[in-house]
Every structure is written in structure tokens, then in C-alpha cells.
Amino acid sequence: MKHSVLSVSRTTGRLTSGGRLLPSFLIVGAQRCGTTSLYRALAQHPLLAKPVLHKGVHYFDVAYSRGLPWYQGHFPLRVGAALLKRRYGQRPLAFESSPYYLFHPLAGERIAHDLPGVKLIVLVRDPVERAFSAHSHELARGFETESNFEYAVELEVKRLAGAEASLIADPHSVHHSHQHHAYLARGRYAEQLDRLEPVFGRDRILVIDSHKFFATPERVYDRVLEFLGVPHMGDPVFERHNGRARPKPLPESVRQALTDHFEVYDTQLVPWLGGEPSWRR
């Protein structure tokens, strides 16, 4: 029944796509860094319009072959946006959150081409914790079959070998391991941000330390609204979403080895954050 409702809704959205909004900003990642929590907080703002059906549309990574009308069909109607503008004196901004956009090699250029002027929000966290959390997440969803985190990390280089070249060579293809098994690669945040900078410029990319977001959500929320040029209206409820219980803690020896691995990449992240990442203090 739910599948039928979603199918009808998507068909309706596609047929009316010309009368719908396109996003003014995107939460593009990183995976397991609090993107859902920020999305839910922003969705409570009356001038921020989330997708009609679900949080992440994943158009610019795995569904680009469906075409822009399909994508636009996921967002609210312009007539509703006009009513909101009349009520609040400012036009609403549509947005979505798909954390694979940051890591996909083609997503940035696709976004820039289809959404001129769009702004990007990126959340980052301790990459060691992110990797460990991602493994638990993919295991629970059935996308990972190796239950041992250390061995899954060892397998990563082999699993991802040639993945980016394959995705670029066949733009409408998908690569299972690139999307679901990039435990260390997705935590090398500066590499991904540096790929976006020439396309968007730094002034259209906001990088948030997710540890600060969870510690002082009101302050970070206000910073996001300032970045978007949207007035503060009401006080959202801040909650953690998509947390997962872990079967056992990460061994200290593994944590230290991965911390050493990420040291140079965390240093490269300093200019993006305007200071040391919180997890290095």
C-alpha cells in the first residue's frame, strides 16, 4: 500500500514538475555526520521547504538518468510557496539532504549545472567515529556482509579499486562498494571539499563540525540561517536521529591507527572549519 501511494505521488509530482520549486540549498554530507538531525531541525522552519516524500532524493548521485522533471517533482508547488511569501514577506527555500552527493565524483558538477546559485551544507565529524558508525549502519541495512570492522577497512582499497573511474566512464552506473563500503575514503573530507570549491566557490559552501552542532545546536542553527539568508522564526526542537547501538567498542589500537591515518586529512580541513576540528582538541 505504501509503495502504491509513493508511486502515485511520484507520478503526480513528475506531471506537475514545471509548477514546483527547485532546491536553493542542499545538505550534501557527510554520511553519519548528523545530516538527518540538521535536516529535521531546518524542516521545522516555515520558510524552508523539504521534499514532499522523503529526506533524500539521491538524484545527483544514483538517479540522474531520471531527468530534471523527475527531480523537481519531489518538491512543493510554487503556488504554495507564493502563499508563504505573501504571509512572511520572503520566498521559501526548497532543500533536500542526500549525504552521498559529497562523495560521488560527478554529483558536484551535476548540481552546479542544474541548480545555478545553489548553496551547499556539509557536516563533518571525527572520521574514525564516522567510519565505525558507517560500518554498523551498512551492516544493519544489509549492504555490508563483513561483520568485523577491522577486516572491512582492510577490504576497502580492493573494493573501491577503479570505482571512481568506472562511475565517470559510465555516468548512469552505480557502484555498490563506492556507495556503501567507503569507510575511510568518505572521512577524508578535505579531498571532497577541494573538489567542490572550483565549482561553487567557498562562499557557497558551509562546513559544520557536527560535534559543535550537537553540543550547541541553537548557535549552529542560527549560523546556518545566516548562511541561507533566512530570518530566525520560532525555536526548533533539536533531536538526534539515526543513532545506532554498537555491539562492542572500537579497540584502542585500531582507533589510534586510524587517527594517525586521518591526521594529515584533518589538518587540511582546518581552513574549511576556520580552526582545529573539535575531535583534535
Are the beta carbons of 205 and 119 closer than 8 angstroms? yes
Vertex 243, ends 278 and 22: CA angle to 5°? 85
pLDDT of residue 61: 98
pLDDT of residue 55: 75
pLDDT in tens, the chain (281 residues): 544 434 445 555 566 787 999 999 999 999 999 999 999 999 999 999 999 877 789 999 999 999 999 999 999 999 999 999 999 999 999 999 999 999 999 999 999 999 999 999 999 999 999 999 999 999 999 999 999 999 999 999 999 999 999 999 999 999 999 999 999 999 999 999 999 999 999 999 999 999 999 999 999 999 999 999 999 998 899 987 666 566 678 999 999 999 999 999 999 999 999 999 999 97
pLDDT of residue 91: 95
Task: Report the phi/psi class of residue 275: left, alpha or beta, with left for phi > 0 and alpha for psi in -120 to 50.
Answer: left
**Cα distance between residue 190 and residue 124, in whole Å:** 10
Buried b or exposed e, range 202-236, using 16+ CB within 10 angstroms: eebbbbbbbbbbeeebeebbeebbebbebeeeeeb
- What CATH number labels 2-241+252-280? 3.40.50.300
Residue count of the chain: 281
pLDDT of residue 58: 96
pLDDT of residue 127: 98
Cα 95 from chain centre:
11
Boundaries of every domain in the chain: 2-241+252-280
Distance between first and last Cα of the chain: 50
Task: Report the phi/psi class of residue 187: left, alpha or beta, with left for phi > 0 and alpha for psi in -120 to 50.
Answer: alpha
Q: How far is CA 274 from CA 15, 185, 208, 212, 278, in A?
A: 45, 22, 10, 13, 11
Q: CA nearest 41: which of 243, 233, 205?
A: 233
